[in-house]
Amino acid sequence: MASWLTTHAPKRFDELAVPESIRDHFIRASSSGDPPHLLITGPAGVGKTAAWRLVARQVLGPGWKSTSHILQARDLSRQAGAMKTFEEFLRPAGLDSSDTLASRTSLDAFDRNMWTGDVGEAPCGEETKTEFGRAPVSRLIIIEDADHLGLRRQPYLRRMMESESHTTRFIFTARAPSRIIDALRSRMQHIRIPPIPSEKIAATVLKVTSLENTTMADGMAEDIAHVAAGNLRKALFTVELLARRQMTEERNRLYEVVSASTLQHARRMLELALRGRVIEWRWEKQGGRNIKTLEGAMGQLDDMMGAHALDAEDIVHQVHMELVGNRLMLAPALRNEVLHALAHCDTSLRRTIHPRIQIEHFLHQVSAAGRRHGLAMS
C-alpha cells in the first residue's frame, strides 16, 4: 500500500505548498524551451523532491521517468568505493569510455507528442513547446542531497555541465548550498524553498485526511503542524501513522505518540550525557549468541536516528525543546552551557557531511559540563 505522501503528491505546480513567488520560478524555469540547470534548496520536508519531479514531468513530457536519472549523494558518504559508484553512474558505458550520461540524447524527447493513453496533465497546465531549430532537453540528471557530494566529486560535474550537457540538464537538491562549490552554483538557477508555514501544513493535513475519509479531532491538524515545525513530510507521516492506529479522533493521542517516541529519548539522552554516561556497552543474548549492545547516551542516539528515523536537525530540535521547556531540572548556569554547546552543534551541522559526529561531540561537551557542575563522575 502506497504511503499518503506518495498518493497525494502534487501533480501541478499550483499544488506545491510553497509561496507563489517560488512557484512562479519553477513554472518559468520548466516551461522554457531552454531550461536552466537547477539548484533547489531548503530544510527537510519542504517539497524539494516533489518540486523536481514536477519540473522533470514538465521539461521531459509524459515519458519523463525513463530519462530521469537519480543519484542519492547522501548514500555515497556512507559506502566504500563511493567514487567508483559515482563515476559508473555518470559513465554507464564504462569508466574508459568517452560516452557519458550527460552527452546522450534520447529520442523520447522528439516523441513527446505521440504518447497515447492517460498521461496526466502537465504541471503547468499545458506541455512545453519545443523551439524550432533547437534540440529539446531529453535527459535530466538529478543529484539529491548534493551537499553530501564532497569537494572531490563536484569539479567532475562542473566539467560535464560545461561541455557535455547540450540536451541534458542537472537538478541538485540540498539543505546546505554553501557546501556546493561556487563554480557549480554559478552555473545553476538557485531556488530556495522556505519552511512551510504552520497554517499551510494544517490545511494540507485536513485536505489529505478528508480525501482519505479520516475524521480528525478539533485542533489536531494544528497540533501536528506545530510538531512538524515547517516539515510537511513529517506532518503527513505523523497523521498517516495516527490514522493507521485509529488515533485521529483523540487529540491527546498525538503527544502520546510523538512525545513517547522522540522527546522521551531526547530527555533520556541528555540525562545520561550529563551524568557522564555517554558510551556504555551491555552484553545481550540474541539467538543463542552474546551480542555487545551500545547503551548510554549513544544508545539513545542510535534509537533516535535508527528506530525513529530522525535526522540530526530533528534531534537538535528535540533537545532544544527539552532544554527550553523546563522538563529538565538544571541550574541556570548549566542550562546555558548546554544551550551554547547545542548552538555550536547546530552551526556545525550546516558545514559537515557527517552529522552524527557533530551530535556525538555535543554529547561529550554535555558530559564535560555535567562534570564541572558535579553531576557526572570522572
Mean pLDDT of 224-248: 87
| Rounded (10°) CA dihedral 78, 83, 89, 92 | -140
| Rounded (10°) CA dihedral 305, 308, 310, 316 | -80
pTM over 0.75: no
DSSP label at residue 197:
P
Q: Is the pLDDT of residue 118 over 60?
A: no
pLDDT in tens, 288-320: 677 777 889 998 888 877 666 677 887 888 898
Structure-model confidence comparison of residues 272 and 98, the more confident one: 272
Least confident interval from 33-42, 262-271, 333-342 = 262-271
Asked whether the beta carbons of 154 and 181 are under 8 A apart, the reply is yes
Amino acid at 65: K
CATH C-level class of 4-192: alpha beta
The SS3 of residue 144 is: strand
Residue with cell 485509529: 246
User: Measured between alpha carbons, how far is 164 from 56 in angstroms, rounded to an integer?
Assistant: 19
Residue with cell 506545491: 16
Q: What is the pLDDT of residue 30?
A: 93
Q: Is the pLDDT of residue 107 over 60?
A: no
Residue with cell 502534487: 10
Q: Is the pLDDT of residue 115 over 70?
A: no
Grid cell of 291 as nine digits: 551480542
Q: What is the pLDDT of residue 273?
A: 94
Q: What is the pLDDT of residue 348?
A: 87
Mean pLDDT of 94-119: 63
Mean pLDDT of 139-151: 89
Query: DSSP secondary structure string, 159-178?
Result: HHHHHS-SSEEEEEEES-GG
State the chain's mean pLDDT as an integer. 84
Mean pLDDT of 114-119: 53
User: Measured between alpha carbons, how far is 216 from 209 in angstroms, rounded to an integer?
Assistant: 8
Asked whether the beta carbons of 159 and 181 are under 8 A apart, the reply is no
CA proximity to 277, closest of 353, 191, 375, 169: 375
pLDDT in tens, 240-292: 888 888 888 888 878 766 655 566 788 889 999 999 999 988 887 766 677 77
Which range among 4-8, 97-101, 364-368 has the greatest average pLDDT? 364-368
Q: Cβ–Cβ contacts within 10 Å for residue 21, how many?
A: 7
- Contacting residues for 171 by C-beta, under 8 A, at least 6 apart: 37, 38, 39, 40, 52, 55, 56, 140, 141, 142, 143
User: Measured between alpha carbons, how far is 42 from 19 in angstroms, rounded to an integer?
Assistant: 13
Q: What is the phi/psi pair of residue 254, to 5°? A: -60, -50
Mean pLDDT of 23-51: 92
Q: What is the pLDDT of residue 46?
A: 92
Grid cell of 97 as nine digits: 569510455
Architecture of domain 259-378: Up-down Bundle (1.20)
SS3 content of the chain, % helix, strand, coil (to 5): 50, 10, 40
Which range among 94-103, 188-197, 246-255 has the greatest average pLDDT? 188-197
Confidence band, pLDDT 50/70/90 cuts, at residue 329: confident
Distance of CA 308 to CAs 83, 251, 312, 313, Å?
Answer: 30, 21, 12, 13
DSSP label at residue 196:
P
Biggest alpha carbon–alpha carbon distance for the chain = 76
The SS3 of residue 55 is: helix
Q: Is the pLDDT of residue 191 over 90?
A: yes
pLDDT in tens, 15-26: 999 999 999 999
The SS3 of residue 286 is: strand
